[in-house]
Amino acid sequence: MRIAVLDDYQGVALTMADWSRVQAVAEVEVFRDHLGDLDALAERLAPFDVLVLMRERTPLPAQLSERLPQLRLVVTTGRRNASIDVEALRARGVPVCSTESVATSTPELTWALILGLSRHLVSSVTDVRQGRWQTTIGSDLAGRTLGIVGLGRIGAKVARVGTAFGMDVLGWGRHLTAGRAAESGATAAPLDEVLRSADIVTIHVVLSAETRGLVGARELALMKPGSLLVNTSRGPVVDTPALVAALESGHLGGAAVDVFDSEPLPADHPLRSTPRLLATPHIGYVTENGYRVFYGQAVENIEAFLRGAPIRVI
């Protein structure tokens, strides 16, 4: 049996779990690069029986999976992976397994980005390295309003930190109730009110047909002049051209994004040169604890599959 582990950017997949029992009966090949071309992917992956996918890094649409005749099992890290055509694989009798995830990693990065924007950390570090001194003025968080678009599992953790900073927290969700919001120290409000009232808006919704383009030109125009936007959810939730325009015009005081429409971000992408933007390469879930859960449970799924035991099927 041949197993392909895809998109191991840091080259750590085999060190984050004990693969020894799997390697005793199967060949495990790790790919650190990312291939976006369908034909190149089909050629590379055709000989493999098992694919281990990292979240949404490499999509597995029907057009690709149907060209993989040896495929017997797909393992994806995380609870869900919208970039896999699960139904197409089920029709072929190929199971798709998932893993748990660490719920604290993305909220922690969210606050790193909020603080980085509010206190101009990147430009201040650059100033010190280049011999300049105090060229910016930061913004306090205490007494300001934090707006959370998507007050769910992740958003609630972000909300609790906001209250610890002394912020007023407004939250929105399609099925959010006042009671659920209050559990995390927030007040439930309509989306437009959250956008109009918040000094900082942070997004934590699952990408779906309903949330794709949820924050576009109209929504950005509702936000306060000089306010900040943070997106650690999914890139397509925010309309990229509208975000670029809002930053270039100065309407937004800044934005921080960890997720993009296309990943890895193309070299000529406009977000690489947009002013007042703090960008990170989708590292919200990239932590040692997170990777140990991902790869550890991926190995468990493969071992269970090999011995015919129950597996965690999506």
User: Euclidean distance between the first and final Cα of the chain, in Å?
Assistant: 22
Instruction: Cite the active site residues.
Output: 234, 263, 282
> What number of other Cβ atoms are within 10 A of residue 151's Cβ?
28
CB 252 within 8 A of CB 246: yes
Residue 285's alpha-carbon distances to 89, 198, 228, 293, 310, in angstroms, are: 26, 26, 22, 11, 27
φ, ψ for residue 118 (rounded to 5)? -65, -35
Closest CA to 141 of 181, 112, 114, 123: 114
CB 293 within 8 A of CB 99: yes
CB 203 within 8 A of CB 238: yes
Residue 49's identity, in one-letter code, is D
φ, ψ for residue 153 (rounded to 5)? -60, -45
